[in-house]
Structure 1
Amino acid sequence: MSRTLVLIIVLAAIGVGGYYYLNQPEPTPAERLQSAAEDAGDALSDAATAAQDAASDAVDAATEQAAEATSSLTEQASEAASSVADQASETAQQAGDQVAALAGQGQELLSSWIQEGKLDAANFDYDGIMTSLEESTLAADLKEQAIKIVNDIKESPETIAQKIQELTNLLTQQ
C-alpha cells in the first residue's frame, strides 16, 4: 500500500504542477519589454566588456611597439652621434694636418730664400722672391700678405730688417 500511496502523491504533485504551469497567465507586453531590455542589457554589457578587453590589448600592443620604436630611435641617434663625432674628429685632424703642411710650406719657402741669399738686407732679390711666392701653394690670404710685405720692402728699403722679421713671423706661424 505504501507504494500506491507514494504513486498517488507523485501523480497528484505532477497534476498540480501541470495545472499551475498551464494556467499561468501570458506575460504582458510590459513584462516582455522588460525581459527583452534585460536581455539587451546583458548583451550590451558583454559587448562592452569585450570591447574594453580589445581596447586594453590594443593599448598594450601600441605601448610595446612605441617602447620598441623609442629604443630603436635612441640606438640609431646614438650611432649617428658617434658617427658625426668620428667624422668631426677626422675633419679636425685633416684640417690640422693641412695647417701644419701650410706652415711647413711657408717655413720651407723662407728657408730656401735664406739659403739662396734672396732674403738678405744687403742682397734682396725682389723678383726671385715674388716668383717663388706666386708659384707656391701657400694659402691665398697668406700669399697676399707675404706679397704685400715684399712690396713694402721694395718701396722702403730702409725698413728691410723690420719687414724681413714680419715676413718670417708670417711664414712660420701658419
Structure 2
Amino acid sequence: MTHSAPDSLIPYDEIVQEALRAVVGRVLNQVQAGGGMLPGAHHFYITFNTGAAGVDIPERLRARFPDEMTIVLQNKFWDLEVTDTQFSVGLSFNQLPSKLVIPFAAITSFVDPAVDFGLQFQAAVSEAEPEPHDDAHNDSAEPHKPGQERTKDASVGGDEGDGDGSNVVTVDFGKKK
C-alpha cells in the first residue's frame, strides 16, 4: 500500500517563490539606496523570461532573445529604480543605451558570482524549457565567457545538495509519486 501526499490547499510553492524573489528586490533596493553603486566586487547576473507579463525591453532585444535573457549589472548601468513588484535599469547593448523594465515574477535566476550566491526560480510563465541562446553581454568590464561555469547547484526543500558549500538555492515543489 502506497501513501501519496494530499494536494495542499495552501500554495506553498508560490509563497516560497515570492519570498525568494523578494530577496532580489531587497538586494537591488540596497544598491539603489547606495547611489547605484555595487559594493566591493559584487555583480549580478539576472536571467528573466522576456515574454513574461510586464517585461518592457526594446524590440531589438526581444527579437534577439525571444524567450529568455541574461543581463549583467556590474560596471555600466544607470537609473536603477526598484519598486515592490519590479525594477528598471539602463544598460548598453552594442553601444546602444536601453531601458529595461523587469517584474520580479519574470526572473528565473539571480547570481552574484563574487560570493558564489545564486537563486533559481520556477518559471512563472510556462514549464517549457527555453531554447538555448547566447548570453547578453552589456558592455561589462569582465564579460562572461561561453562555457564558463557560473554557479554550483545545491537544493532546498527536497533533495539534499552535493555538499560543496555553494550558496545556490533551488526550490522545486514537484508532486511526490
TM-score (norm 2): 0.28
Higher helix share: 1
TM-score (norm 1): 0.29
Between structure 1 and structure 2, the one with the greater Rg is 1
